[in-house]
């Protein structure tokens, strides 16, 4: 936004998120480092990578959104020359930036590594499915914490987040077209992969759109 | 008056168990308004509506000429707000807050901020989570005062403060009024803070503004008369008398419209006027609230 | 500024209205001679800030003082202690009356008779006269 006050608010939140962003990049770096060290290394790397890609969503929502409202710091923010609506939109912009930058960087690095290193690439389609699923989790956490106003709902969101990847593997990882090709030397892009990725992107967009719509309608900022 | 600093006209706001009704309030520039009411009377709700934190169900709200809540971003360029429930970011320092505020407001008086740091005995490097309640209030006040706002809105600023902190804050608030164009609105359920420095007093009870007048007018209109009454003779009514409390041959008459004729009137009725006393703002407030509650059950 | 630095004090414990307390203290300054005729009073706002009392209270005190011809307000130039030595005398006499009134009510409270009062006053005056010589 061209408004300098709003820009400052966005930068403030991104700056407050720097450790989360750095943590995500470091976790991914460690994952890539140990990925080639046998089965345990590969498995650990997978868990670390998922954490690096998705966990920032929870951290960002917890301290940028939940803590600020619970501790009434938002009242301090709103005492400054910014409207309630601008304040909320700035927060979404900052959270999205703080989430997407490491997310995109990690994906880019993996993409480059996969292209130049002699590794089997069968896992890539399912990898992309997982990676874009992280976007859905981020969009869901944002929607729950910013639109919802309930501690209970926030807890439900975090629990869902923690258990979702397990279920994801169970549901999508065992689809024959995907499961059979995960260990291949070359990526096999069956249609179902594109359908799932497409649907996930749509869901993420819909959740964000819903959040933005609800926030622009909000008038009570106490 | 020249354009009021703020204006609320016919403001309503309904909640399941509470209603703000027909709120009409305004403040001229260069004045301090004390906003007094019991807990839950509607002070905070009114202030939040004024600051655009809450939309009114009905009525108009204008803050420095801007229509609220739509114009809040513009209005807040010249309005600073501190409330008792407000908090600062815990893990950063007061210095960080000073720099952040300075970067988003149109005017920041850095020299005055330094003066206030010394006066309030605050350490800019200290993380705000380490501040005591009183230090935090002073820190938030510093962040508001150094903006040199045209209007300072304070919601219960003195609650929970020790006498020294209160003294420091009152002194600083009063220094604002040396500028004729700066105004203060502050709410309290404690009348002593308000009584001393307010030019205008507003009473609110159960969602309704009961009275809003110049402080000196309040203090002059209200009196308590200690009378000695002849036995078995009820006192005749007189306009403006809100309460007569008798016990035996002594009676205490409370009036909200005192005139010098009143003692003579009672003397003629056969009573002896022992004393005519002024009332403190607290006594006036209680009498006003009791009276209004009887009128609107 | 005008050498007044919070020497005026409003007491919460004093039951009298604040504007009266203010008036009394200003009158004392004038009576004692600290603020001679023509002396410029602090601006209303400056005094309000200094004593930590509302502007409207100071305004009222100044208005009352002007009504009683103790001070004179010149449009756009401020308020000044009124000319006239009788101002000082008037104030001193007022002070005496105030003190006498306090003595009278105290004696009533304690049940001291007028005669006893007169005797004790006489003794005090004798003492003071002896101390001087």
Indicate whether C15 pLDDT > 80: no
Query: Between residues B182 and C86, which one has the greater pLDDT?
Result: B182
Is C61 in the same domain as C47?
Answer: yes
Q: Does B153 touch chain C if contact means CB atoms closer than 8 Å? A: no
Domain-located, residue C9: no
* Residues on chain B touching A14 (C-beta within 8 angstroms): none
User: Are residues C70 and C94 located together in one domain of the fold?
Assistant: no
Q: Residue C88: its pLDDT value, please?
A: 64
> pLDDT averaged over chain B?
92
pLDDT of residue A1: 44
Does residue C31 belong to any structural domain of this protein? yes
Angle C80-C81-C86 from CA coordinates, rounded to 5°: 155
Does some domain include residue C72?
yes
Average pLDDT, chain C: 82
Question: B259-296 burial by CB neighbour count: b if 16+ within 10 A, else e?
Answer: eeebbeebeeeebebeebebbbbeebbebbbeebeeee
C16 touches chain B (CB under 8 A): yes
pLDDT in tens, A139-164: 999 999 999 888 889 889 889 888 99
Q: Is the pLDDT of residue C133 over 60?
A: no
Give the mean model confidence (pLDDT) for residues B186-208: 90
d(CA B128, CA B92): 6
Of A125, A108, A116, nearest to A183 by C-alpha is A125
Nearest to A80 among B88, B101, B140 (CB): B101
pLDDT higher than 80, residue C6:
no
What pLDDT was estimated at residue C95? 82
CB pairs below 8 Å between A and B: how many? 71
Nearest CA in chain A to B141: A76
CA angle A93, A98, A100 (to 5 degrees): 90
Q: Between B and C, how many residue pairs show a Cβ–Cβ distance under 8 A?
A: 50
Asked if B76 and A86 come within 8 Å (Cβ–Cβ), the reply is no
Q: Which residues of C touch B196 (CB under 8 A)?
A: 10, 12, 18, 52-54
Q: Chain A within 8 Å of B55 (Cβ-Cβ)?
A: yes
Q: Is the pLDDT score of B285 beyond 70?
A: yes
What is the tens place of the pLDDT at every residue in B53-92?
999 999 999 999 999 999 999 999 999 999 999 999 999 9
- Residue C4 in this model has a pLDDT that exceeds 50: no
Domain that holds residue A184: 4-217
Q: What is the reported pLDDT for C129?
A: 63
Partner residue opposite B180 with nearest CB, options C12, C45, C60: C45
Q: Centre a 10 Å sphere on the Cβ of residue A145 and count the other Cβ atoms it contains.
A: 26
pLDDT digits (tens, 9 = 90+) for A115-129: 898 888 888 899 999
pLDDT higher than threshold 50 for residue C1: no
C99 & C128 share domain:
yes
Say yes or no: C46 and C72 in one domain. Answer: yes
Interface of B with C in 258-297 (CB under 8 A): 277-278
| b/e per residue B22-58 (b: at least 16 CB within 10 A) | ebebbbebbbbbbbbbeeebbbbbbbbbbbbbbbbee
How does residue B206 score in pLDDT terms, banded at 50, 70 and 90? very high
Q: Do chains A and C touch (3 or more CB pairs under 8 A)?
A: no
Indicate the residue of A8, A12, A75 with minimum beta-carbon distance to B86.
A75
Interface of C with B in 29-58 (CB under 8 A): 45-46, 48-49, 52-57
How many whole angstroms separate alpha carbon A129 and alpha carbon B137? Answer: 50
Residues C40-68 pLDDT 10s: 999 999 999 988 899 999 999 999 999 88
Please answer yes or no on whether C55 and B31 come within 8 Å at the CB atom: yes
Question: Quick one: C59 and C34 in the same domain?
Answer: yes
Lowest mean pLDDT segment, chosen from A53-57, B34-38, B162-166, B188-192: B188-192
Would the pLDDT of A111 be above 80? Answer: yes
* Mean pLDDT along residues B223-250: 86
Q: Is the predicted pLDDT of residue B93 greater than 70, yes or no?
A: yes
C-alpha distances out from residue C99 to A127, B218, C94, C105, Å? 96, 30, 9, 10
Residue C6 belongs to a domain: no
Inform me whether the C-beta atom of residue B170 falls under 8 Å from chain A C-beta atoms.
no
Q: What percent of chain A has pLDDT over 70?
A: 99
Residue A175 reports pLDDT greater than 90 = no
Residue C2, chain B, CB below 8 Å: the answer is: no
d(CA B63, CA B69) in angstroms, rounded, equals 9
Residue A14 in any domain: the answer is yes
Option in B69, B76, B85 nearest A72 (CB): B85
Question: Given an 8 Å threshold on Cβ–Cβ distance, is B199 in contact with C56?
Answer: yes
Rounded to whole angstroms, what are the CA distances from B38 to A192, A207, B203, B206?
Answer: 65, 44, 9, 8
What CATH number is attached to the domain comprising C32? 1.10.10.10
Report the predicted TM-score, pTM, of the whole model to 2 decimal places.
Answer: 0.86
Q: Are residues C77 and C116 in the same domain?
A: no
Per DSSP, helices labelled H in A35-173 are 38-60, 67-70, 73-78, 84-116, 124-142, 151-172
Which chains lie within 8 Å of chain B at 3 or more CB pairs, if any? A, C
Residue B54 near chain A (CB below 8 Å): yes
Among candidates A4, A73, A86 on the partner chain, residue whose Cβ is nearest the Cβ of B87: A73
Asked if the structure places residue A43 within a domain, the reply is yes
pLDDT digits (tens, 9 = 90+) for B125-183: 999 999 999 999 999 999 999 999 999 999 999 888 888 888 889 999 998 888 888 99
> Least CA distance to B178: which residue of chain C?
C45
A neighbour chains, 3+ CB pairs within 8 Å: B
User: Which residue range is the domain that position C27 belongs to?
Assistant: 18-83
Q: Which pLDDT value is given to residue C130?
A: 59
Query: Is B82 in CB contact (< 8 Å) with chain A?
Result: yes
Pick the CATH number of B6-214 from 2.30.110.10, 3.40.710.10, 3.40.50.720, 3.40.50.300: 3.40.50.300
pLDDT at residue A187, as a whole number? 83
Give the total residue count for chain A: 222
Which pLDDT belongs to residue B229? Answer: 87
A-chain CB neighbours of B140 within 8 Å are: 76
What is the domain count for chain C? Answer: 2
Interchain contact, B216 vs C57, CB within 8 Å: yes
The percentage of chain A sitting over the pLDDT mark of 90, rounded to a whole number, equals 66
Confidence of residue B297 (pLDDT cuts 50, 70, 90): low
Is the predicted pLDDT of residue C24 greater than 90, yes or no? Answer: no
The structural domain count of chain A equals 1
Q: Is residue A28 included in any domain, yes or no?
A: yes
Q: For an interface test with B, give the residue of A2, A10, A76 to mutate (most B CBs within 10 A).
A: A76
Averaged pLDDT for residues B100-128: 96
Mean pLDDT calculated for residue range B3-12: 96
Domain ranges of chain B: 6-214, 223-277
Higher per-residue confidence, A60 vs B292: A60
* ipTM confidence: 0.91
The second-level CATH assignment, the architecture, of B223-277 is 2-Layer Sandwich (3.30)
Counting as contact any 3 or more CB pairs under 8 A, the partners of C are: B
């Amino acid at each position: 936004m061209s408004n300098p006050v709003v820009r400052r608010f966005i930068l403030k939140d991104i700056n407050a998120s720097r450790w989360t962003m750095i943590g995500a990049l470091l976790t991914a770096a460690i994952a890539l480092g140990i990925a080639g060290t046998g089965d345990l290394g590969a498995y650990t790397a997978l868990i670390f990578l998922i954490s690096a890609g998705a966990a920032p969503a929870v951290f960002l929502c917890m301290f940028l959104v939940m803590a600020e409202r619970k501790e009434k710091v938002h009242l301090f923010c709103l005492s400054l020359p910014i409207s309630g609506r601008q304040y909320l939109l700035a927060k979404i912009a900052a959270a999205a930036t703080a989430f997407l930058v490491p997310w995109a960087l990690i994906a880019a690095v993996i993409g480059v590594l996969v292209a130049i290193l002699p590794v089997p690439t069968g896992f890539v389609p399912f990898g992309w499915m997982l990676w874009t699923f992280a976007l859905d989790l981020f969009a869901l956490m944002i929607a729950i914490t910013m639109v919802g106003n309930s501690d209970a709902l926030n807890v439900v969101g975090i629990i869902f987040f923690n258990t979702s990847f397990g279920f994801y593997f169970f549901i999508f990882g065992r689809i024959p077209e995907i499961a059979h090709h995960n260990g291949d030397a070359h990526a096999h892009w069956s249609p179902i992969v594109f359908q799932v990725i497409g649907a996930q992107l749509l869901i993420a967009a819909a959740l964000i759109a819903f959040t933005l719509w609800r926030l622009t309608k909000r008038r009570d900022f106490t | 008056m020249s354009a009021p600093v703020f204006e609320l006209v016919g403001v309503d706001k309904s909640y399941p168990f509470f209603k703000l009704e027909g709120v009409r309030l305004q403040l001229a520039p260069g004045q301090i308004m004390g906003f007094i009411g019991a807990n839950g009377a509607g002070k905070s709700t009114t202030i939040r509506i004024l600051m655009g934190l809450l939309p009114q169900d009905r009525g108009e709200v204008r803050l420095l000429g801007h229509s609220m809540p739509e114009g809040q971003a513009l209005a807040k360029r010249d309005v600073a707000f501190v409330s008792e429930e407000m908090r600062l970011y815990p893990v950063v320092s007061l210095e960080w807050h000073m720099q952040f505020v300075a970067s988003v407001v149109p005017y920041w008086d850095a020299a005055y901020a330094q003066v206030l740091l010394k006066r309030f005995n605050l350490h800019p490097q200290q993380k705000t989570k380490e501040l005591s309640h009183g230090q935090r209030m002073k820190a938030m006040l510093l962040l508001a005062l150094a903006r040199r706002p045209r209007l300072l809105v304070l919601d219960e600023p003195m609650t929970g403060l020790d006498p020294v902190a209160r003294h420091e804050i009152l002194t600083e608030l009063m220094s604002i009024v040396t500028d004729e164009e700066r105004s203060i609105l502050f709410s309290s359920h404690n009348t002593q803070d308000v009584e001393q420095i307010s030019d205008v007093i507003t009473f609110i009870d159960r969602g309704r503004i009961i009275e809003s007048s110049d402080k000196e007018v309040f203090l002059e209109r209200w009196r308590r008369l200690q009378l000695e009454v002849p036995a078995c003779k009820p006192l005749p009514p007189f306009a403006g008398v809100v309460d007569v409390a008798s016990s035996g041959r002594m009676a205490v008459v409370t009036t909200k419209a005192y005139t010098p004729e009143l003692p003579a009137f009672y003397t003629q009725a056969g009573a002896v006027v022992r004393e005519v006393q002024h009332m403190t703002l607290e006594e006036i407030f209680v009498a006003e609230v009791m009276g209004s509650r009887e009128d609107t059950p | 500024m005008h050498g007044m630095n919070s020497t005026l004090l409003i007491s919460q414990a004093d039951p009298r209205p604040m504007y009266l307390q203010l008036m009394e203290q200003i009158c004392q300054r004038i009576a004692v001679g600290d603020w001679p005729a023509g002396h410029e009073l602090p601006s209303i706002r400056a005094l309000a800030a200094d004593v930590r009392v509302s502007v409207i209270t100071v305004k009222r005190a100044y208005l009352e003082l002007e009504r009683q011809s103790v001070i004179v307000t010149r449009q756009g130039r401020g308020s000044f202690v009124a000319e006239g030595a009788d101002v000082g005398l008037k104030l001193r006499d007022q002070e005496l009356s105030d003190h006498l009134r306090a003595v009278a009510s105290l004696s009533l409270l304690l049940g001291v008779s007028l005669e006893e009062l007169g005797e004790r006053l006489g003794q005090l005056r004798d003492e003071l006269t002896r101390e001087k010589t």
